[in-house]
Chains A and B, each alone.
Chain A
Amino acid sequence: MSNYEEIQLLLDDYLNDRLPADSKEKFEKSLSQQPDLQEELVIHQNLMHVIGEQPDMRRKEMAKHPMMKEVLEVLDSEETRQLRATISEVNEEYQQNQGKSSGTIMRSFPLMAIAASIIILLNFGLVFWQDSSNADLYDAYKDSYSPISLVERSSSVNTSLNVIINALQAADYEKVITSVNDAPELVKQHAEVLLYLGLAYRETAQFDESIKAFERYAAINDLDQSIADWNIGLIYLKTEENAKAKSYFQKLAESTAFEGAADAQEILKNLE
C-alpha cells in the first residue's frame, strides 16, 4: 500500500470515527504538525458532503473564514437593502399577477375554437384555494397536467352549449348550474357539460353535487372515468379529506391509460 493510500484510509477512518483510541491520538498529533494533511482532511470532509451528500462538517468553520467579513459587508450595505426591497416588490407583484392571470387566460379562450383542456378549465379555481393546507399541492399540479383536448367546435355549435361555456368563462357558476339542469337533452348530446356542471358546483362549494356531476359524466362516458376520478380526487384534496383523495389518486397512479399517472403518484407522495 502506498503512503498516499495509507493516509487516505486513515483520513476516512478518522472522519468516520473508526479509529481505535490510540491510533486516533497518534493521527491527531500528526494532523496538528502537518499542514498538508490538514488540507487533505478539509478536502475529504468537503467531498463527503458534496459527493457523499453527508452533513456538512465544515459549516461551523465557515463563520471564521476570511471571506465572511467581505460577504457580510455587501449583504449589510445600503445598496443590498434597496435590492432586497426591489426583489420583494417584484415578488409581490408577480404573485399577485399570477392570481389575476388565471382569470384573464380563461376569459381569452376563443369560444368557437376551443382546443383547450377540460382539466385546465376545471383547475382554474385552484389558484384561489389559498386557505387550506392542500392548496399548494393543487396549485403545483394545475399546469403540469397534460391537457385532454376537447373536440374542435364549429360555428354551428349548439346555442345552449354556447351559453354554458360563456357562463363558465365568465365565472357565472349559478348560470352554468341552471342552464345544465334545465337542459337534460343537452347532457345526452354533450356529456362534457356534466364536467362544467361539476366545476360550477365545486366553485360554489357544493361538493356533494359536484361529485355527483362528475360521477354522472363517468357513467355516460366510461372511457373518461379517469377525468372524473381526477376531479373527484381534487375535491377531496380541497376538502382536506385526504384518505378519500388518496384512494382516487392511487387508482389514477396505477392506471396505464391515464396520462397524468405520474402526477397522481406525486400527489400521493405529498399526501404521505
Chain B
Amino acid sequence: MNEHNSALVKGLIEGRKEVLYKIYEELFPKVRKFVLRNNGRQQDAEDLFQRSLLQLITKAKVSGLPEIKSIEAYLFTINKNLWRRELNSNERVTNPTTHEQSYESGTDSTAQLMATASLQEEAVALLEQERWELYQTCFAQLTENCRKVLDFFFKKKPYSAFNEEFGYSSESVARQRVFKCKNKLSKLIKAHGNYNRLKNL
C-alpha cells in the first residue's frame, strides 16, 4: 500500500473527520453514480457508503488490515458487493443509527429489535465480503483459460458453448477441463491463509 492509501486507511480506522471527508471527496461521487445507475437513489448511496466505511473499519479490527493496493478501489468493491446484495434482498437494510436513536429515546419498542437485526445483517455482509475476497483472490491465481472455463461452467453455459469457445472436441473433454480447473481452485482455496478461519462460511 502506498503512503497516501496507508494514511487514509489509518485515519479512517481512527475515525478522523478530515480523512473521512477526503475519502468522501475522492470516492462518494463514483459510488453515487453507480447506485443511481443501478436503480438506487441519493439516500441509498449515502447509506451504502456509510456502511462500506464501517465495514472496512470493523474488518480491520476483527481481521487486521486487508492487503489492498488502493483504498478507493477496495471501498468501491465493497460498495458494489453491498449494493448487489441489497438488490438481491427483499428488504432494505438501513443505517442502524436511525434505529438506535429511536431506541435510545425510548419512543419505539420495536426499534431495538430492528437495530439488532440491522447489526446482524451488517455482520453477515462483512463475512460475505471476507469470503468473497478469499474466493476471488484464489480465482485470480488461475490461468486465464481456467478462469474462463470455470466462468462458463458456473454461469451454466451449455457444453456446446465450451466446444465453440475453446475448440474442445467433445463434451467429455470439456468436462475434464472444468474439473481439472475446479480441482486446482479448490486446492488454492483450502491452502489460503484465511481458509480455516472462514471455513464453512
Contact = CB atoms under 8 A, between A and B. Distances in A.
Nearest to B24: A94
Given A42-B200, A62-B124, A94-B28, A85 B139 contact: no
A140 B32 contact: yes
B41 interface: yes
A89 B153 CA distance: 46
B36 A83 contact: no
Given A62-B127, A144-B33, A47 B62 contact: no
A9 B154 CA distance: 12
B191 to A, nearest CB: 12
B182 A8 contact: yes
A94 B25 contact: yes
Given A8-B179, A136-B42, A65 B36 contact: no
Interface of A is mostly: helix
Interface string B41-76: 110001001100110011001100000000000000
Contacts of B41: 136
Contacts of A254: none
Contact of B156 (A52, A62, A82, A130): A52
Among A4, A40, A70, A83, residue most surrounded by chain B Cβ atoms (within 10 Å)? A83
Nearest to A61: B200
Q: How large is the interface on B (under 10, 10 to 19, 20 to 34, 35 or more residues)?
A: 35 or more
Contacts of A62: 124, 127-128, 201
B123 A140 contact: no
Given A51-B151, A82-B15, A70 B136 contact: no
A80 B175 CA distance: 49
Contact of A52 (B28, B132, B154, B176): B154
B119 A88 contact: no
Contact of A63 (B25, B120, B151): B120
A72 B120 contact: yes
Contacts of A88: 50, 95, 97
Contacts of B24: 90-91, 94
> Shortest 6 CB-CB distances between A and B: which pairs?
A52-B154, A140-B36, A71-B123, A51-B154, A90-B20, A94-B24
9 contacts: A43-B190, A50-B136, A56-B88, A58-B131, A62-B127, A67-B198, A75-B119, A84-B95, A94-B28
